[in-house]
Amino acid sequence: MSVIGSRMVVRLCDRCLRLYSCAVPYADLGFEQWNDLSDGAARRMAQDIADRHDLTVAGLKNTAYAGRSHRMALFDRDGMRFALVPGGRPTLGYDAARFRPAPEQAASYADSAGEYGLPPLAEYVDAMTSPVRSAEMPAMLIAVDAFDPCETPLAPDDPRVLELVASTGNRRGGVKIFRSGGGLTVEFDQTGQVARARATREVSHDEAMAGLASIGLRTTTADEWEWACGAGATTLFRWGDDCPNDGYPFDHKTGAHREANLWGLAIGQDPYKHEATTERTIVCGGDGGGATCGGSGFFLGWLTLATAYRDKDFGQWLASDDRYSHEILTRPVISLS
């Protein structure tokens, strides 16, 4: 066995896997424990997790992201895909004193600071990221994609869908999307058939959390979101400290921010798609597109995708009565037993 920080990590051989799974909750499964398993032992553990939580194992594969490697495990539950996120005691948050901006980043910030009267770069980054801290993280299953509790999937033969389809006429020949004023969206495939339909309605933060609880899920805490996004990376972004200087994240359809992270999650990819946490005033993964839409400068636009990014004013506004709650996103979690 070995010790990492204050967390004891037991390297498991195949013969003791059965004993481990009976004696120790999977919530205590650490990063090294999981990745030290043989392929056979990992498959059996994944299947046991699936059996305990009424899931289907969707696959195991070795993957790499930003120079780090990991054995990714994916599970399916009622059309939603989850990835195994091992536990540990990571250091979360960010200390801007260790940030060494590239010349292009410094120049971009200098332009923004001059226009908006901002403080020195390190001071601003510190103000817009969570403080450095240690946190005990359990292993858990986290949804690969964010979940929109405002959306309700509809069957192609739902009367509302049929009515909208009838109003569009024959739409064969290319994918098309139609929206009604009542929050109904219908997507057609290339043959003119309904590929996807959904109804959208406004929900409050509490309604969104209750909706997840009703299907046996919950959303992440702020600490869990950072762990899920950064996977232990100590850099400003999960891929490093660098970022493009020729556009905003929304402008770049490819790049490290568009790739699944080390755990296999599509997370922190678009600043317009901020995610709610269990704390009403803390959102992660974006700023609602404010920096991009406002033309604040490329570095400030990319900073919104920093793993520890926190826009306190935006979070307070979202928690107020002025919020636009039809755009809430959450990151569902299955706690491991």
pLDDT digits (tens, 9 = 90+) for 144-174: 999 888 777 788 888 888 888 887 765 555 5
Q: Is the pLDDT of residue 140 over 70?
A: yes
pLDDT number for residue 324: 57
Q: Is residue 182 classed exposed, middle or buried when 0-12, 13-18 and 19+ CB atoms within 10 A define those classes? A: exposed
Residue bearing the bigger pLDDT, 73 or 150:
73
For the chain, list the strands marked E by DSSP.
2-4, 7-9, 56-65, 68-77, 80-85, 91-92, 133-134, 140-143, 151-153, 176-179, 184-188, 194-200, 218-219, 275-276, 283-284, 332-335
Q: What percent of the chain has pLDDT over 90?
A: 66
37 Cβ contact partners less than 8 Å away, ≥ 6 residues apart: 12, 17, 45, 71
Contact indicator for 275, 146 with CB cutoff of 8 Å: yes
Among 102, 107, 110, 122, which Cα is nearest to 243's?
102
Q: Assign 6 a pLDDT band (cuts: 50, 70, 90).
A: very low
What is the mean pLDDT of the segment spanning 187-214? 82
Confidence of residue 3 (pLDDT cuts 50, 70, 90): very low
Report d(CA 133, CA 330) in Å as an integer.
Answer: 23
Q: How many helices (H) and strands (E) does the chain have?
A: 11, 16
What's the whole-number mean pLDDT along residues 206-231?
92
Place of tokens 């908006």: 116
The pLDDT of residue 24: 53
Is pLDDT above 60 for 67? Answer: yes
The pTM of the full predicted model, rounded to 2 decimals, is 0.83
206: how many CB neighbours lie within 10 A of its CB? 9
* Residue of higher predicted confidence among 10 and 112: 112
Pick the more confident residue, 79 or 109: 109
What confidence tens digit (pLDDT) does each residue in 280-294 have? 999 999 999 999 999
